[in-house]
Amino acid sequence: MGNPIQEELSEAKTLIEEGRYNESLRVLERILEKLPDTITVLNVLNLKSEICWRSGKLDVGLEVIKVTNETLSLEEMKTTEVDADLEKIKSIYFSNAGIIHWYLGNLEIAREYHEKSLKINQDLEIQEGISKAYNNLGLVYWSKGNLDIATDYYKKSLANYEDLNDENGISRVLNNLANISASHGKLDQALIYHQRSLSIKERIASKQDIAQSLINMGVIYRLKGSYHKAREYYNRSLAIQENLSIGPEFALAMNNLGEIYSLTGELNTALDFYQRSLLLYESMGNKEGIALTLTNIGDIYIRKGESDIAFEYFNRSLSISEEICNRSLIATSLSELINLALDRKDTNLAEDYMTRFNQVNEESDSNSIDQKIRMCRALILKKSTRMRDRVKAEEILEGIIEEDISDNTVTCSAMIHLCDLLLDELKATGEESTLNKIKGLTQKLVEIAQDQSSPILLVETYLLQSKLAIVAFEFEQARELMARGHSIAVDRGLERLSRIVESEMNHFQYQQKKWKSVLETNPSKQEMIDMTNLNELLERMVQKTVETLGIDSTIKPKYELIHKSILSQDGKTERNNFRVGIAQIGLSNKGDILSEHYEEYGEGLIRLKDESIQHVKLKVKEMVNRAQKEKVNVLIFPEMSIDLMNKELADDIQEFARKYEMVVIPGSFHEQNSKRNLSR
């Protein structure tokens, strides 16, 4: 008769491989209830830590590896002789601890753990463990930006897995080699690696692994600018997970679909997908996913021109990122917050964030983080009125541009900001050499956009180049560049951007005679720059809102209430026509909004759960701000969406109503004392 505990451990492992993490945890808890020996406890803890990093519950994972370390430090575990079974358990512990710290961005700690795991496996000549350690070390060096070292480790891992004929391991390394190729801009090679990996996984791997590969394929198509193809792969990933318990792969696919809609300028649809992804990550307690998605939502609000809401989302992301010590995400949030502080002309706040950023950079050896902080330093100097500060900003930006691309978005941003600085210089001096320098930068932007197949950046840069051509009196070239940009926007389905370029083409046609007559007066470069609104376009590119330039919202108000003033004789009505908005806090994720967001606190009485308060606060602010911009006078929220028994929510509603001189009807709620459904 077999060992029941070993059989249960095998069952738990199988459930993990199938992505059924909650069921696996129940089996592991059942084992612990039997008070097994310490070796079995360690095996259970190792499986628990694996579930934590697979499901994204990294803070729980840290607790598990802490308990594992304490268990390994027990007196009974200390021995002078090498126990192969115990050493193997240690190697798995080191491997899982390394993966958790890698996810958290603690790259040096992760490296140390993986090297310990590698040494044990080498001493015991466990080839599978050696292969896994090589692969994990490759991931660490890839995250550090040391791509050559990462590639060497991946190739060692792949050779070992091929010798072992371990197809599962081979598929994982092929996926990572694809990431290296993508980092070098070799997207076709990356696609080949991912296709090889996917073909293996479709034969032998779990549905979760296949779903992840489909997402990876979608990412490459997104980088190639094939947004429809990317969307197809993300949707295939969602479809394959349809009958599985919802995990991080599902949330990631939703998040990436949001990115596609963001790239095509469909910001409201993108926001919807990001918010659905956020709800999933929150339900899983996946703090890394939560922080990432909050940043993406903040980015949408920046592009919508709603910086106050973006500021709150970036701050929430920063708080969570600091809580889980994920330096990469901390750096991203701080970069965005510094940009926002500078836009608000709050240099002191920007410097405060820089102090925190400096500390993160000192603790990290990531090239990407170092590049981001130098970018932020340049932007602070750029805002200065002192010439030497602006010259220093130029030097930093030029340095970033000349480096090997660590983060394509940072490099492109550096080029756009440098163009902005040089444009001021051109207006002041009119020197042809400065104009040529700007033209050279825009040509580099075109090359990056073509290499990375980024149609939005390509169209925006062609539009920028067309305006530079007008400044140089090269009207025919300006027309050709606009036509080229318009053609790409139409071909790629970028409807908003195509309308912007079409508007610019029409404006050019209308103004051309006027500009030609102006030439006879020998205008200065500053006059031509002002006439083409070149500053405005560059500012929009800096703020990432160019795709909404000049485009009215396609959302029309569904209701308009015509108010008959029956109290006009009493002087109490200020206007007869009111615009009414109907707001919605959010949608149910599971089809049962009551159990998701509300709790019973008395017979027949319900209220918002504490964990839903912050979500409702942000949504209320978002809806009110949007209503104010749409010139809404009366804003109505559905029944029970705002619990006015909560003082924070009640105060917010009153403050918004006063601030915007708006009638806000928050819907009825359960009043505790009277036990009635009331409305205010």
Among residues 132, 218, 219, which one has the least CA distance to residue 173? 132
pLDDT tens readout for residues 511-526: 777 777 777 777 777 7
pLDDT tens readout for residues 481-499: 999 999 988 887 777 778 8
Tokens (6 digits) for 501: 């370029």
Cβ-based neighbours of 298, under 8 Å, separated by 6 or more? 309, 310, 311, 312, 313, 314, 317, 336
pLDDT of residue 641: 59
* Residue 334 pLDDT level (bands cut at 50, 70, 90): very high
Res. 196: pLDDT tops 90: yes
Residue carrying structure tokens 């908005």: 581
How far is residue 78's CA from residue 94's CA, in Å, rounded to a whole number? Answer: 17
| Higher pLDDT pick, 138 / 361 | 138
Tokens (6 digits) for 224: 């190639």
* Residue 548 pLDDT level (bands cut at 50, 70, 90): very low
Summarize the confidence of residues 228-250 as an average pLDDT: 84
pLDDT of residue 81: 67
Indicate the Cα dihedral angle 327, 328, 332, 335, nearest 10°.
Answer: 60
Q: Which amino acid is at 631?
A: K
Kindly list the domain boundaries of the chain, sorted by start residue: 407-548, 560-678
Beta strands at 560-562 and 663-665: parallel, antiparallel or unpaired: unpaired
3-state secondary structure of 232: helix
How far is residue 159's CA from residue 631's CA, in Å, rounded to a whole number? Answer: 64
Res. 538: pLDDT tops 80: no
Cβ-based neighbours of 474, under 8 Å, separated by 6 or more? none
Residue 109 contacts residue 143 (beta carbons within 8 Å)? no
Beta strands at 577-582 and 598-602: parallel, antiparallel or unpaired: unpaired
Among residues 430, 133, 229, 502, which one has the least CA distance to residue 438? 430
pLDDT tens readout for residues 633-652: 888 876 555 666 677 777 77
Tokens (6 digits) for 356: 């925190």
Residue carrying structure tokens 């469909």: 266
Res. 349: pLDDT tops 60: yes
Half-sphere exposure of 528 (CA within 13 A, CB side): 27
* Residue 565 pLDDT level (bands cut at 50, 70, 90): very low
pLDDT tens readout for residues 657-667: 778 888 887 76
pLDDT of residue 171: 94
pLDDT of residue 577: 62
Res. 239: pLDDT tops 80: yes
φ/ψ (deg, to 5) at 667: 85, 160
DSSP 34: T
| Higher pLDDT pick, 73 / 645 | 73
DSSP 245: P
* Residue 221 pLDDT level (bands cut at 50, 70, 90): confident
DSSP 673: T
* Residue 145 pLDDT level (bands cut at 50, 70, 90): low
| Higher pLDDT pick, 598 / 307 | 307
DSSP class per residue in 403-422:
S--S-HHHHHHHHHHHHHHH
